[in-house]
Amino acid sequence: MLLAVLGVALLAPALPLAHPDLTSPADRLKPPFSDGAILGTDHLGRDLLSRLVWGTRLSLAVGVTAALLAAIVGSAIGIVAGYLGGRADHLMMRGVDMLMAFPYILLALAIVAVLGPGLLNALYAVAVVNIPFFARNIRGATVAIAHREFVDAARLTGMSGLRIIGSEILPNVMPVIVIAMSTTVGWMILETAGLSFLGLGSQPPQADLGSMLGEGRKLLITAPHASVVPGVMIFVIVMSVNLLGDGVRDALDPRLRSGALSRPAAATRVERTDTPEMKPTGALLEVEGLRTEFQVGPRVYRAAGGVSFEVAAGECLGIIGESGSGKSVTALSLLGLVASPPGVITAGAVRLNGRDTLSMTGEQLRRVRGGQAACIFQDPLATLHPLHTVGDQMVEAIRAHRPTPRREAREHAVSLLRKVRIPNPAACARSFPHELSGGMRQRVGIALALVNDPDLIVADEPTTALDVTVQAQVLALLDELRRERGLALVFITHDFGVVAQLCDRVAVMYAGRIVETGATQEVLARPRHPYTRRLIACVPEPGRGRRTLDAIPGLPPSLDALPDGCAFAPRCDRAQAACRGGEIALRRDGAHSVRCLFPEGAAT
Amino acid sequence: MHIYILKRVLAVVPVLLGLTVIVFAIMALIPGDPATAILGSYATPENVARLNRDLGLDKPLVQQYFIWLENLLHGDFGRSYSLNRPVLDEVWERFSATLILAGAALVLCTLWGLLIGIWTAARQYGWTDRLLTFVVLIGISVPSFWLGLLLILLFAVELRWLPASGMFAIYGGGDLPDLLRHLILPALTLSVVATGVIARLTRAAMLEMLRQDFIRTARAKGVSERRVLYVHAFKAALVSVMPVIGVQAGFVLGGAVYIETVFQWPGVGRMLVQAISTRDILLVQGGVVVVSACYVLFNLLVDLAQCWLDPRIQT
Ligand code: SF4
């Protein structure tokens, strides 16, 4: 559409049209579709179609010129301010802010008032009022790269500031300039047309779309077509420019394609082909063959690939693995909390007290969440609502499950805050999350999980963001609560030290699968899987500082291209050809299971 | 909190000052002899000389500015030669009309913008979303002055439901219902573009917030999906939408220029256009200063509301 408009505008001189300014008093105000004038004529008998084409040409030219002008001046200011930084930057940006303190069109009017009406002056005015927009955006982009290595390198080679801007900065901020232009060109066409409409832009006989509309308006009632037609044209142009702008922006925004801009549904999508048979084990939580995938476009990332485990009442299971091992996804899948899209649960069952959470309706699931089963998350600054007080958030959780008078709920909340040993619980309930320290926030997170006396708590790396002493306190608190209340705990972590302190049993995950599981002491003392052994070797010994899991050479496999056979083979020092041959089962040996063909401690 | 509010209020002072500097600077840029420009080319030499003296144009520019500013602070905006009355009186009278129009439009666009934004975000990629997103795109692309004309044609000329122009009926009008009847079309027209912009940003902000971790927490607590959307996500989204509403106030105040012309609404905007064509520079100056100051003050209000809504700002 835009192309058609552009084409017509460019070809205007070559088209077989009547002269746009040719008046013919006899043919005044002919309606559209009459002989010789498809769109009719105006009050001077001029052919509207021809005037429309010429007017479009003029409007487009003016709008685009204004955009270019604003882009060049604004970008220059933005780049220089961003590159120089400091005082100059401050001064320039204050000036720009001042210009932005004006209502947009008013500033343009003031400029036209001074320069006098006229199309060129309108163009200047519109360009000037758009300069601040460019200056700000481009400055932001420049600041972001002004201290990157390649710019510093150029500076060290003694390049002059001007050359650095030209050769290093300009090419890098160009996309931002293009986006800014594509989003403003529509406005500028609209604004110049508007000024002309008010009689402050193009002066007769010269006519752009705005002034045509302005002239047509005087005859609104007798000859509506004279004002409707140019308006449609402006509308079509601006709309196509805006569409184009959206397209440009979307094309340059990688988040859109990855699906990261989609709204996550209330619960993870479940698309199972079959539901595993019930074979009650009497455990509180039974997970069987759980498979959660991230489906991004044509790619499928298998984050959890058939995970099974159970947790008895009052028991603590640790799930341990590197980031990307699928441990968090597994934990979140239990209550359908994996963001969807892109997450989809494609197989398995999760039975809590014998009921499958994956086949629950939204309302059933809502009752379970925060009721029978609660969650504690990693970083409570991001996971607590920033605009509600701690107390309100707890009260809300209570009232979501039990109709309780507000006051009573509040008292309960405060008593729980005291329970998790927050020094001044009443004051804490009145605070916002950002006002508390990290350790306090995590205690709040724990109290929040306790409000409805759950049977099960799923804790997703609750201590990772805390420093070591606070971490120990929080762990001790969790352990105490668990024993006191008979809570079952699923504890996600990447730290074997934490597992050793808290968990009865442990499951080690790698590339979306459990590779070893057993009683904590047993696994710690006699790890069978080579990966587990390496993980344990990473546990910091007292007084030797922290070591992380990165100490294992190599990277976990990418989850959209998992190898056949053992996923750990590329990093394993015991790997043999058979390891890559095919599916390896989790083999049981008493209470200790391992998914490895050549486990540690066996003859190779 | 009180200190923060005080700081925000004080921060407005330099902005207002800067505003007067810019207006003054633009006026100083008038090519040729300002007095002639102000009085028009038919002015008598005596008048030019008198105005030159009145304006203190024989003094240095900086001093001129301070004299002008002092007069402004005393409410002396000079005299409009085309209307032959003090600028301030005229601006004040007109400004109340503009405030009614712009205020109504601002209420409309805020309400509808937020509503549409929430609806579309809640039904992302559903057909309501697609439809409304398309309508919004039309809304932000349509030239408001043209839309006004179309509405006049439809509702005033064809259907004869609503008056086409003015603020009150010439005969027998003057009461509130009469004002409202006259207000509907211009306020609606004026609000369309801003509604679109606010709706778009609300939708984007809602979707952004719905991906935040605290939404997952709310769901993990067992909060109903309605509350998740309309309380948790919306409140958080509002924090980023509020400044946009402030900016839109500028577009609405500015857009009033067109709408007042189309609907012959007796506001500052139409006054400005007339003043520009009659080259009544002092009147333009006065109008621009008053409307811009109002915009700055409105944004101060938005700032303060923001600080009430978001406790993180104060620290
Ligand atoms: S199966 Fe083979 S490659 Fe995999 S962990 Fe065991 S020994 Fe290593």
Name the token pair of B216.
């997952």
Residue in B212, B253, B257 nearest the CB of A198: B257
Residue B108's pLDDT band, with cuts at 50, 70 and 90, is: very high
Q: Which atom of ligand 1 is nearest to the CA of A584?
A: 1
What is residue A317's predicted lDDT score, i.e. its pLDDT? Answer: 93
Q: Where are the beta strands (DSSP E) in A438-583?
A: 456-460, 488-493, 505-510, 513-519
Residues A98, B22: C-beta atoms closer than 8 Å: yes
List the 385-414 stretch of A: residues with Cβ below 8 A of B. Answer: 385-388, 393, 396-397, 400-401
Quote the CA–CA distance of A448 and A450 in Å, as a whole number.
Answer: 5
Of A255, A253, A296, A436, nearest to B211 by C-alpha is: A255
> CB of A319 within 8 A of CB of A330?
yes
Centre of ligand 1 from the C-alpha of residue A574, in Å? 6
Q: Which residues line ligand 1 (CB under 6 A)?
A: A 529-530, 566, 568-569, 572, 574-575, 579, 584, 596-598
Give the mean pLDDT of A128-140: 85
Residue A33 has pLDDT above 70, yes or no: no
Q: Which residue has the higher pLDDT, A161 or A123?
A: A123
Quote the CA–CA distance of B188 and A501 in Å, as a whole number.
Answer: 66
Q: How far is CA A92 from CA A84, A88, A562, B313, in A?
A: 11, 6, 54, 25
The domain tally of chain A equals 2
CATH (domain of A358):
3.40.50.300
A507 within some domain: yes
- Interhelix angle A390-399/B213-221, rounded to 10 degrees, is 40
List the 510-539 stretch of A: residues with Cβ below 8 A of B. Answer: none
- Paired residues of A537 in beta bridges: none
Give the mean pLDDT of B4-25: 82
A296 within some domain: yes
DSSP per position, A146-204 = HTSHHHHHHHHTT--HHHHIIIIIHHHHHHHHHHHHHHHHHHHHHHHHHHHHTTSSS-T
Tell how far CA A140 is from the center of its chain. Answer: 20
Residue in A242, A266, A397 nearest the CB of B137: A242
Q: What is the pLDDT of residues A560-591, one digit of tens each?
A: 778 778 888 888 888 888 888 888 888 888 77
Quick one: B187 exposed, middle or buried, by C-beta within 10 A (0-12, 13-18, 19+)? buried
Residue A254 has pLDDT above 70, yes or no: no
Whether A120 contacts chain B with CB within 8 A: no
Residue A508 has pLDDT above 90, yes or no: yes
Of B78, B97, B84, B73, nearest to B34 by C-alpha is: B78
What is residue A6's predicted lDDT score, i.e. its pLDDT? Answer: 64
Tell me which residue has tokens 């909390």.
A337
CATH (domain of A191):
1.10.3720.10
A307 within some domain: yes
Quick one: A28 exposed, middle or buried, by C-beta within 10 A (0-12, 13-18, 19+)? middle
Rounded to the nearest angstrom, the minimum Cα separation between A545 and chain B is 31
Quote the CA–CA distance of B231 and B225 in Å, as a whole number.
Answer: 10
Interface test with chain B among A52, A115, A263, A404, by most B beta carbons within 10 Å: A263
Quote the CA–CA distance of A33 and A61 in Å, as a whole number.
Answer: 28
Q: Which of A584, A598, A600 to mutate to test the pocket of ligand 1 (most atoms within 8 A of CB)?
A: A598
Quote the CA–CA distance of A291 and A513 in Å, as a whole number.
Answer: 9
Q: Where are the beta strands (DSSP E) in B77-217?
A: 79-80, 85-86
Residue in B138, B224, B291 nearest the CB of A106: B291
Residues A105, B18: C-beta atoms closer than 8 Å: no
A550 within some domain: no
Q: Say which residues have a Cβ less than 8 Å from residue B260's Cβ, sequence separation at least 6.
A: B97, B98, B101, B186, B266, B267, B268, B269, B270
Judgement on whether residues A340 and A207 belong to the same structural domain of the protein: no
Residue in A197, A200, A337 nearest the CB of B219: A337
- Interhelix angle B281-309/B2-28, rounded to 10 degrees, is 160
Ranked by mean pLDDT, which of A193-202, A261-270, A521-530, B266-275 comes out on top?
A521-530
What is residue B58's predicted lDDT score, i.e. its pLDDT? Answer: 63
- Paired residues of A309 in beta bridges: A287
Quote the CA–CA distance of B57 and B54 in Å, as a whole number.
Answer: 8
Q: Are strands A592-594 and A513-519 parallel, antiparallel or unpaired?
A: antiparallel
**Range with lowest mean pLDDT among A154-158, A177-181, A185-189, A260-264:** A260-264
Give the mean pLDDT of B199-206: 88
Rounded to the nearest angstrom, the minimum Cα separation between B204 and chain A is 9
Whether A91 contacts chain B with CB within 8 A: no
Centre of ligand 1 from the C-alpha of residue A579, in Å? 6
What is residue A408's predicted lDDT score, i.e. its pLDDT? Answer: 92
Ranked by mean pLDDT, which of A310-319, B122-131, B253-262 comes out on top?
A310-319
What is residue B247's predicted lDDT score, i.e. its pLDDT? Answer: 84
- Mean residue pLDDT of chain A comes to 80
Residues A109, B276: C-beta atoms closer than 8 Å: yes
| Buried-state track B4-14, b at ≥16 Cβ within 10 A, e below 16 | eeeebeeebee
Q: Say which residues have a Cβ less than 8 Å from residue A377's Cβ, sequence separation at least 6.
A: A383, A445, A460, A461, A462, B213, B216, B217, B220
Whether A435 contacts chain B with CB within 8 A: yes
Name the token pair of A29.
């105000």
What is residue A544's predicted lDDT score, i.e. its pLDDT? Answer: 47
**Range with lowest mean pLDDT among A279-293, B66-80, B223-237:** B66-80
Tell how far CA A437 is from the center of its chain. Answer: 26
Q: Which residue has the higher pLDDT, A395 or A94?
A: A395
Centre of ligand 1 from the C-alpha of residue A584, in Å? 9
What is residue B43's predicted lDDT score, i.e. its pLDDT? Answer: 66
A438 within some domain: yes
Rounded to the nearest angstrom, the minimum Cα separation between A393 and chain B is 9
**Range with lowest mean pLDDT among A214-223, A517-526, B65-74:** A214-223
Of B60, B21, B54, B20, nearest to B35 by C-alpha is: B54
Judgement on whether residues A119 and A216 belong to the same structural domain of the protein: yes
Residue A543 has pLDDT above 50, yes or no: no
What is residue A348's predicted lDDT score, i.e. its pLDDT? Answer: 87
Q: Which atom of ligand 1 is nearest to the CA of A597?
A: 1
A603 within some domain: no
Give the mean pLDDT of A218-243: 76
Q: Which residue has the higher pLDDT, A12 or B122?
A: B122
Judgement on whether residues A252 and A290 belong to the same structural domain of the protein: no
- Residue A260's SS3 state is coil
Q: Which residue has the higher pLDDT, A556 or A12?
A: A556
Residue A318's pLDDT band, with cuts at 50, 70 and 90, is: very high
Residue B123 has pLDDT above 70, yes or no: yes
What is residue A20's predicted lDDT score, i.e. its pLDDT? Answer: 57
Q: Which of A516, A529, A552, A579 to mutate to test the pocket of ligand 1 (most atoms within 8 A of CB)?
A: A579
Judgement on whether residues A354 and A501 belong to the same structural domain of the protein: yes
Give the mean pLDDT of A200-217: 75
* Structural domain span for residue A423: 285-524
Atom 1 of ligand 1: nearest residue by CA position: A596
pTM for the model stands at 0.82
Rounded to the nearest angstrom, the minimum Cα separation between A511 and chain B is 24
Residue A506 has pLDDT above 90, yes or no: yes
Centre of ligand 1 from the C-alpha of residue A498, in Å? 26
Residue in B146, B207, B214 nearest the CB of A382: B214
> CB of B276 within 8 A of CB of A109?
yes
Q: Where are the beta strands (DSSP E) in B175-264?
A: none
- Residue A570's SS3 state is helix
Residues B295, A194: C-beta atoms closer than 8 Å: no
Residue A79 has pLDDT above 70, yes or no: yes
Q: Which residue has the higher pLDDT, A184 or A413?
A: A413
What is residue B112's predicted lDDT score, i.e. its pLDDT? Answer: 93
Residue A220 has pLDDT above 90, yes or no: no
> CB of B193 within 8 A of CB of B147?
no
Interface test with chain B among A111, A198, A381, by most B beta carbons within 10 Å: A198
Q: What is the pLDDT of residues B136-154, one digit of tens each?
A: 888 888 888 888 888 888 8
What is residue A240's predicted lDDT score, i.e. its pLDDT? Answer: 82
Q: Which residue has the higher pLDDT, A285 or A106?
A: A285
Residue in A105, A224, A448 nearest the CB of B255: A105
Q: Which atom of ligand 1 is nearest to the CA of A599?
A: 6
Judgement on whether residues A188 and A316 belong to the same structural domain of the protein: no
Query: Checking phi first, is residue A436 left (phi over 0); if not, alpha (psi -120 to 50) or beta?
Result: beta
Rounded to the nearest angstrom, the minimum Cα separation between A206 and chain B is 18
Going A348 to A353 to A359 to A363, the CA torsion angle's sign is: negative
Q: Which residue has the higher pLDDT, B231 or A160?
A: B231
Quote the CA–CA distance of A451 and A428 in Å, as a whole number.
Answer: 16
Domain endpoint, select from A256, A274, A304: A256
Judgement on whether residues A95 and A191 belong to the same structural domain of the protein: yes
Residue A336 has pLDDT above 50, yes or no: yes
What is residue A549's predicted lDDT score, i.e. its pLDDT? Answer: 45
Quote the CA–CA distance of B288 and B291 in Å, as a whole number.
Answer: 5
What is residue A550's predicted lDDT score, i.e. its pLDDT? Answer: 47
Judgement on whether residues A124 and A212 belong to the same structural domain of the protein: yes
Rounded to the nearest angstrom, the minimum Cα separation between A477 and chain B is 21
Judgement on whether residues A368 and A426 belong to the same structural domain of the protein: yes
Q: Which atom of ligand 1 is nearest to the CA of A529?
A: 5
Tell me the one-letter amino acid at A357: T
Centre of ligand 1 from the C-alpha of residue A135, in Å? 58
Judgement on whether residues A351 and A229 belong to the same structural domain of the protein: no
Judgement on whether residues A244 and A389 belong to the same structural domain of the protein: no
Contacts of A435 in chain B (CB under 8 A): 311, 315
Tell me the one-letter amino acid at A37: A
Residue B41 has pLDDT above 70, yes or no: no
Ranked by mean pLDDT, which of A116-120, A418-422, B121-125, B155-159 comes out on top?
A418-422
What is residue A86's predicted lDDT score, i.e. its pLDDT? Answer: 77
Residues B224, A264: C-beta atoms closer than 8 Å: no
Domain endpoint, select from A491, A524, A557: A524
Domain endpoint, select from A524, A545, A571: A524
Judgement on whether residues A89 and A179 belong to the same structural domain of the protein: yes
Residue B163 has pLDDT above 80, yes or no: no
**Range with lowest mean pLDDT among A19-33, A272-286, A359-373, B242-256:** A19-33
- Residue B181 main-chain phi, psi, to 5 deg: -60, -40
Centre of ligand 1 from the C-alpha of residue A329, in Å? 24
Q: What is the pLDDT of residues A450-478, one digit of tens each?
A: 888 899 999 988 887 778 888 888 888 88
Residues A374, B220: C-beta atoms closer than 8 Å: yes
- Residue A162 main-chain phi, psi, to 5 deg: -65, -40
Contacts of B249 in chain A (CB under 8 A): 103
A563 within some domain: no
Residues B26, A260: C-beta atoms closer than 8 Å: no
Rounded to the nearest angstrom, the minimum Cα separation between B31 and chain A is 8
Going A279 to A285 to A286 to A292, the CA torsion angle's sign is: positive
> CB of A327 within 8 A of CB of A515?
no
Q: Are strands A316-320 and A456-460 parallel, antiparallel or unpaired?
A: unpaired
- How much of chain A, in percent, has pLDDT values that exceed 90? 13
Give the mean pLDDT of B12-23: 83
Quote the CA–CA distance of A228 and A222 in Å, as a whole number.
Answer: 12
Quote the CA–CA distance of B240 and A247 in Å, as a whole number.
Answer: 24
Whether A73 contacts chain B with CB within 8 A: no
Judgement on whether residues A293 and A188 belong to the same structural domain of the protein: no
**Range with lowest mean pLDDT among A114-123, A206-215, A484-493:** A206-215
A268 within some domain: no
> CB of A177 within 8 A of CB of A138?
yes
